[in-house]
């Protein structure tokens, strides 16, 4: 196990020894730092190597890989703050932490397979983070203090059965159901084509509930903020148990009347808006 720092003094190839401080390319267990310079790094298959950690710092302005040729490498810890136009990684990461990105739609792109990411933490960024459908997120998704970022979790991404999503900022485009969701702020756009959200607690921000096919929320509690399903095009979606508190708003005036509220909506204050002619039950 050793520390390896990218210099990029020879070319853009990962496996060129003179591109690395000390003249030795990274090996399994190494801690890799790509923290300065502007020389881009070509995509290459290093899938047989599992690093201890990989850090891409915000002083690094190059791009890494392409959509057709990703940098394939595993790491226990992956910390990303690069500001190059694009970065494409494929691998397995126990903890992936994002603190900065470029402003591009391709700022950071992650693909993989089984147990791709155990914990995903997005703490900053200015562009779009794309989590591909080939990924598996096991336990945790957090988007905290990341006002300028957009995260897209693709349809068919595998989500662990006990996975929890927490966000308070930015925008998160969710195309796959997560069992437990807590929203304190920002905008969550849920474009689900199926699945069940067991618990959805909203303390602020806006949730755009815009499923394209039948899906279910087992328990929805809106303490504050706007739960907005006006854009829904789903044939039907179901909310089993709903409670709206004083600062909460539920607005489901889609015109389709496609929401089924299985049990009476419990009103502890707040407001529920629904289509003219629609009948709902509240307690």
What is the tens place of the pLDDT at every residue in 24-63?
Answer: 999 999 999 999 999 999 999 999 999 999 999 999 999 9
Query: Is the distance from CB of 175 to CB of 153 less than 8 angstroms?
Result: yes
Report which of 207, 219, 204 is spatially closest to residue 261, judged by C-alpha positions. Answer: 219
Global pTM value? 0.95
Q: How far is it between the farthest Cα atoms of the chain?
A: 74
Residue 283 in this model has a pLDDT that exceeds 80: no
Query: Is the distance from CB of 243 to CB of 220 less than 8 angstroms?
Result: yes
Residue 280 in this model has a pLDDT that exceeds 90: no
- 210-235: pLDDT as tens digits: 998 899 999 999 999 999 999 888 88
Cα–Cα separations (whole angstroms), residue 163 to 62, 118, 123, 158, 172: 33, 9, 18, 10, 16
Cα–Cα separations (whole angstroms), residue 179 to 52, 139, 248, 266, 279: 30, 10, 22, 22, 29
What is the rounded average pLDDT of the residues 153-173? 97
Name, in order, each residue with C-beta under 8 angstroms of 276's C-beta and a sequence gap of 6 or more. Answer: none
Residue 281 pLDDT grade (very low, low, confident, very high; cuts 50, 70, 90): confident
**Phi, psi for residue 206 in degrees, rounded to 5:** -130, 130
Query: Is the distance from CB of 15 to CB of 40 less than 8 angstroms?
Result: no
């Amino acid at each position: 196990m050793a520390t390896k720092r990218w210099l990029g003094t020879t070319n853009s190839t990962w496996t060129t020894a003179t591109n690395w401080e000390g003249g030795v390319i990274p090996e399994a267990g190494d801690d890799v730092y790509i923290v300065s310079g502007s020389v881009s790094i070509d995509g290459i298959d290093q899938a047989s190597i599992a690093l201890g950690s990989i850090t891409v710092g915000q002083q690094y302005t190059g791009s890494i890989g392409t959509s057709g040729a990703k940098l394939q490498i595993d790491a226990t810890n992956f910390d990303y703050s690069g500001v190059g136009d694009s970065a494409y990684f494929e691998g397995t990461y126990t903890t992936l932490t994002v603190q900065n990105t470029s402003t591009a739609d391709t700022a950071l792109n992650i693909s993989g397979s089984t147990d791709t990411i155990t914990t995903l933490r997005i703490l900053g960024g200015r562009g779009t983070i794309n989590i591909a459908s080939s990924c598996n997120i096991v336990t945790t998704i957090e988007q905290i203090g990341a006002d300028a970022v957009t995260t897209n979790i693709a349809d068919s991404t595998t989500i662990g059965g006990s996975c929890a999503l927490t966000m308070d900022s930015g925008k998160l485009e969710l195309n796959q159901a997560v069992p437990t969701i807590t929203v304190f702020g920002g905008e969550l756009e849920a474009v689900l084509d199926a699945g069940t959200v067991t618990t959805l607690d909203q303390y602020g921000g806006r949730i755009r509930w815009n499923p394209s096919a039948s899906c279910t929320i087992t328990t929805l509690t809106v303490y504050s903020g706007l739960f907005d399903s006006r854009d829904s095009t789903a044939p039907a979606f179901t909310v089993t148990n709903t409670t709206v508190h004083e600062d909460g708003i539920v607005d489901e005036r889609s015109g389709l009347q496609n929401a089924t509220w299985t049990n009476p909506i419990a009103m502890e204050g707040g407001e529920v808006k629904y289509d003219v002619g629609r009948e709902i039950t509240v307690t």
